[in-house]
């Protein structure tokens, strides 16, 4: 990287050293693991800080471009691709010069925040604070139609009196919780597979149908007649709904500004 770009990057870092909340880490040329748990791409400037109620630190990634020509769509495309599999909460692109109309449109589509060097120097700190929001992502499994393959055969029209998983007998409510955990576990595994293929389809809010098949040698049903049935396979046509609940945000101090 040319020395001039390094100087510009360091200048941007100094700006965000002042902008970041008290106790935040501002690191130049940082790296985060991607969804595959390997070292991700180099981040020009990374701002990382703790927020009450969040499972991990909040992260702002800042990309820097030191060029006399206006930043174009190609640079924004590169940023979008670069962060496709990296867990950051905001991406800010800072250019020494202005942006082309194509870059502006592409950044809006990709939710990239744009700043010129002048914008960064003249940042409205209280307004910048209000852009930080915290949400809790929740998975809500829904048990749909269930089929059991058991010996002796189990009538799908009735519910078991008790269920044994391994050596433990559980009641109906515990069994439904167990099924819900199986749905979420299978769904999470499918999310990981989609991310590995470069797709974030299952990260979107809303309801996602999923077929779950459970095979086990340790699952037994006891009927109301006292007969134990060995359940070899369960197939569920189920769904998982992803929601976001916004959490209250603690007010932070940026330098001397509350």
pLDDT in tens, 32-89: 765 555 567 889 988 888 776 667 788 889 999 988 889 999 999 999 988 888 888 8
Which residues, in sequence order, are bridge partners of residue 34?
86
pLDDT at 221 (0 to 100): 94
pLDDT at 73 (0 to 100): 94
pLDDT at 122 (0 to 100): 67
Q: Which residues contact 181 (CB under 8 A, 6 or more apart)?
A: none
Question: CATH for 3-132?
Answer: 3.40.1350.10
Give the 3-state secondary structure of residue 49: strand
Q: Taking all residues of the chain, what is their mean pLDDT, rounded to a whole number?
A: 81
Burial class (CB in 10 A: 0-12, 13-18, 19+), 180: middle
Give the model's confidence band at 21: pLDDT under 50 very low, under 70 low, under 90 confident, else very high.
Answer: low
pLDDT at 128 (0 to 100): 55
Where along the chain do its domains lie? 3-132, 136-245
Task: Answer yes or no: are the C-beta atoms of 66 and 8 closer than 8 Å.
Answer: yes
Spatial separation of the C-alpha atoms in residues 196 and 160, rounded to whole Å = 39
Token pair in block for residue 140: 């809500």
């Amino acid at each position: 990287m040319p020395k001039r770009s390094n100087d510009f990057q360091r200048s941007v870092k100094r700006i965000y050293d002042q902008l970041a909340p008290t106790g935040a880490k501002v690191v130049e040329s940082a790296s985060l693991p991607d969804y595959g748990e390997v070292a991700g791409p180099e981040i020009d400037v990374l701002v990382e800080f703790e927020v009450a109620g969040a499972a991990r630190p909040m992260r702002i990634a800042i990309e820097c471009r030191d060029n006399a020509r206006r930043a174009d769509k190609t640079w924004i495309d590169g940023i979008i691709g670069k962060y496709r599999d990296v867990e950051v909460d905001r991406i800010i692109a800072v250019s020494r010069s202005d942006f082309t109309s194509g870059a502006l449109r592409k950044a809006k589509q990709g939710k990239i925040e744009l700043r010129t060097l002048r914008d960064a120097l003249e940042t409205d700190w209280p307004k910048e604070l209000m852009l930080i929001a915290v949400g809790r992502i929740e998975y809500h499994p829904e048990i749909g139609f269930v089929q059991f393959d058991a010996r002796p055969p189990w009538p799908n029209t009735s519910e078991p009196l008790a269920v044994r998983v391994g050596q433990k007998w559980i009641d109906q409510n515990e069994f439904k919780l167990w099924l819900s955990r199986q749905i979420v576990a299978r769904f999470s595994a499918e999310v990981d597979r989609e991310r590995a293929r470069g797709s974030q389809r299952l990260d979107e809010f809303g309801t996602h149908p999923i077929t779950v098949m459970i095979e086990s040698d340790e699952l037994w049903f006891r009927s109301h007649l006292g007969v134990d049935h060995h359940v070899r396979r369960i197939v569920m046509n189920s769904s998982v709904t992803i929601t976001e609940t916004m959490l209250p945000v603690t007010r932070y101090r940026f330098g001397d500004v509350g």
